[in-house]
Chains A and B, each alone.
Chain A
Amino acid sequence: MTQIKETVDIPSFLQKKTGVDVYQCYQCGKCTAGCVLAEDMDYPPSYILRFLQTGLETDYKKVLSSNTIWMCLNCENCIGRCPKEVDIPVLMDFLRQESREKKLVSPKARQIIAFHQSFLDSVKHTGRLYEAGLVADYKLRTKRHLWQDMKLVPKMLKRGKLSFLPEVVKDRKKISDIFNHTIDKKLK
C-alpha cells in the first residue's frame, strides 16, 4: 500500500541533478520494447520511470537497489526512439552514482561494478587499460568462474592480443590527479 508523498520531491530532485523531467514520460513502453536487456532486468526502463514518477522514497530505493541501472548498456536505443525525449541514459548514469553513494547497490550487480573498478584502477595507475592485468585483477576481486576467461589468455597471447607489460602514460601524476579531483574525491 503506497502512502502519501514524502517531503523530498524526487522528480524535481532528479530534474535539478540531471535536467531530465520524469513527468514527461507517459508510459508508452517504447523504451522497454526496444531495450535489448529488458527481460534480464529487475525492472525494464519504462517501469523505472514509473517508479520515479510516484515520488515515493520506497520506490526510489527500489530503483537504486535494482540491477537495471547496472545492466543498462547505455546503447541509447531508448532515447533514440522516445517520443517524449526522456533521456534515460543520463538518468541511469546519475542513478548509478546515487546507488553507490547511498550504498544500495544490488548484489546482482556486484560483479559488474567490480569490473568497472578493476578497469578504472588499471587506468588510474597506468593511464591506460592493461587488459591482462584488468582481467586478472577482476577475477581476483570476484573469485568467479576464474577459468572461463583464463582459458582465453594463452590464445590471446598466441595472437598477440595480450602484452605482458602494460602500456603506460608518461605523465601518470596528471592521471591520478584527475581521479583525485573527481571520483575519488567523492568516495573519500
Chain B
Amino acid sequence: MKDMENKDNNFEPRIVAFVCNWCTYAGADLAGTSRIKYAPNVRIVRFPCTGRIDFMLLLKAFGSGADGIIVSGCHPNDCHYTSGNFHARRRWIVFRNLLDFLGIDVNRITFSWVSAAEGAKWADIVNETVDKIRKLGPYTEYRRAKDYTEEAKQYE
C-alpha cells in the first residue's frame, strides 16, 4: 500500500479505525451480516473500550502512513463499562484542542458513536470519512516532518 503515497491522481486513502468491542465493532459486524457495502479503505482495530485507546496510537498511525482515522465507541450512557466512553470523550476533547493548536489537521480524525444496532451508520461513517480524506489528499505534510532529510526534500 506504500506505493500509493505519491501518485495522488488515483489516491486511495488509508484509514485506521479504533473501535470498542461492544458497540462499534458489533455495529460493523451488523453492517456485514446485513451486507451493506462500503469503501474497503478502512482497517478496524478492536479495543475493549474507547477508554482504552491511547492518544499516542493516533499520532503513530498518522506517522506511519494513515491518511485518516476513525475513533468510534458506544453512545454516551451505553458504555459496557458504564463510563469508559465518558473518559474517552474528555480525552478526545482535550487532545483535539491540542492537535488543532499545533496545526495538525483534526479533520482527518472522525469521532463517532456507533451502537451495535447501527450497521448502516457505520457504513456511512466509513464512506464519508473516505470521501473527506480523498479530497484532503495523503497526509504527507505530517510524515515529511519525520526527519530532517525528509524536511530538506520539500525544498529541493
Task: Establish whether A and B are touching in the complex (CB under 8 Å).
Answer: no
Residues of A within 8 A of B (CB): none
